[in-house]
Structure 1
Amino acid sequence: MAMGNSVKAPLGHIQFCEENRSACRGRDNSPVVVKLTEARWNELIDLNTRINRQIRPVTDEKLFGKLEYWTYPRGGAGDCEEYVLEKQRALLAAGWPKSALLITVAKDVKNAGHAVLTVRTDQGDMILDNQIEAVLPWYSTPYRYIKRQSTREPAKWTGISDTRVTTVGSVGN
């Protein structure tokens, strides 16, 4: 992913950081990428599958009465941000470095906002998603990437210069 300048964090992430200060603290002057061994790859696939199955997709409006609210999953339900936050928390608990686990905001195939987890590896940025079961390189997903957490400070965000050409097709009668 080609990174741009600093940008404003999503409002939901700002609210999340106010309520979960420890998750958004820290500064890393030497951010790292993870060496993607076979064991690490399998860990990503297993974790992505497990969490996708644990959480039932429910909108923030139905769960919290708000259009947008970021938090860890409650009652086994949540929308894309809850999946991402849980995946990030689980990988951190398994010893993965914070600077390699970045919440990322994109536009999905319906041009709606969507959050995924970007895992920075020596094989490129991999995407853990609740809409696609497979763990894929970022460029193999159907999304247009907008911004993600900074590798140096988890409360700060960086713009993404996603200039890939996408193909739009239609089928007529």
Structure 2
Amino acid sequence: MPLMTICILVAAVAMFFSWSASETQAGGRPAAPFLDEKMATIAPYAFVRLCVNAPRECRPKGGASRTQLNRKVERALKAVNTSVNQAILPGSDTKGNDTWRLSPKSGDCEDYAVTKRKKLIDRGLPPRSIRLAMATTPSGEAHVVVIVKTPKADLVLDNRNDEIKPVNKVDLRWLMIESADNPKRWRWL
């Protein structure tokens, strides 16, 4: 590879990391309470399999891109987050068989997340404002949560606890998020 090409690549990578660092705080969390979407990427393979098994969950979305926060919506968010966290027993998929399922008796983070997303949409919240996001935990484990976009913050509904927090107040490093318009499309964060 010519030296000029290597120099350009090194400069581009350095620029990317300095640009990304300015938008995040310690631990890789965003400084603002909103996620910054970047270029398009493909959906996680297990999510694509969910789309094959439950096509209604993967239709293009409508409604507002942000949910207006009021008491009714806050109650719905808390009720769905808590009820799903209590209804699904923690469990893991078998090695090499990651499957995302709606309302299983036991499951992992993806099962909690897709179930919460469906229940929030069923309660009348705008589908475009309710999105799945993939992140990593402090231990480096892949983790999926629901993000509810509001005018004040992007809120996280997580199976690890019942508290709903803005994206910049959780211990996750964000990787990708489902598109607002089409669940089959995802974007890097």
- TM-score with structure 2 setting the length: 0.78
1:71 matched to which residue of 2?
101
2:185 matched to which residue of 1?
156
Asked whether 1:96 is paired with 2:125, we answer yes
- Cα separation, 2, equivalents of 1:139 and 1:24: 27
Q: For residues 99-110 of structure 1, what are the structure 2 equivalents within 5 Å?
A: 99-110=128-139
Deviation at 1:52, TM superposition (A): 0.4
1:2 matched to which residue of 2?
36
Asked whether 1:11 is paired with 2:45, we answer yes
Structure 1 unpaired stretches of 5+: 161-173
Q: For residues 22-171 of structure 1, what are the structure 2 equivalents within 5 Å?
A: 22-28=56-62, 31-61=64-94, 66-74=96-104, 76-160=105-189
2:18 matched to which residue of 1?
none
Between the two proteins, the alignment pairs up a number of residues equal to 155
- Cα separation, 2, equivalents of 1:31 and 1:93: 15
2:160 is paired with a residue whose SS is coil
- Cα separation, 1, equivalents of 2:174 and 2:108: 18
1:168 matched to which residue of 2?
none
Say whether the 8 Å CA contact 1:31–1:151 is kept in structure 2.
no
2:4 matched to which residue of 1?
none
Deviation at 1:132, TM superposition (A): 2.4
Could you report, residue by residue, the CA deviation over 1:112-151 in whole angstroms, capped at 9, with x for unpaired residues? 1000000011111000000122000011000000001001
Could you report, residue by residue, the CA deviation over 1:65-121 in whole angstroms, capped at 9, with x for unpaired residues? 6441111132x1110011001101111111111101101000011111000000011
Identity over aligned pairs, percent: 24
Counterpart of 2:40 in structure 1: which amino acid?
S
Q: Which has the higher strand share?
A: 1
- Cα separation, 1, equivalents of 2:173 and 2:103: 25
- Cα separation, 1, equivalents of 2:73 and 2:121: 13
Q: Which has the larger radius of gyration?
A: 2
2:60 is paired with a residue whose SS is coil
Q: Which has the higher helix share?
A: 2
Could you report, residue by residue, the CA deviation over 1:12-60 in whole angstroms, capped at 9, with x for unpaired residues? 11111111112101254x7520110122112211211111011100001
Q: 1:48 and 1:98, CA in 2 relative to 1: closer, same or farther beyond 3 A?
A: same
Which runs of structure 1 show a deviation greater than 6 angstroms over 4 or more consecutive aligned residues? none
- Cα separation, 2, equivalents of 1:27 and 1:77: 28
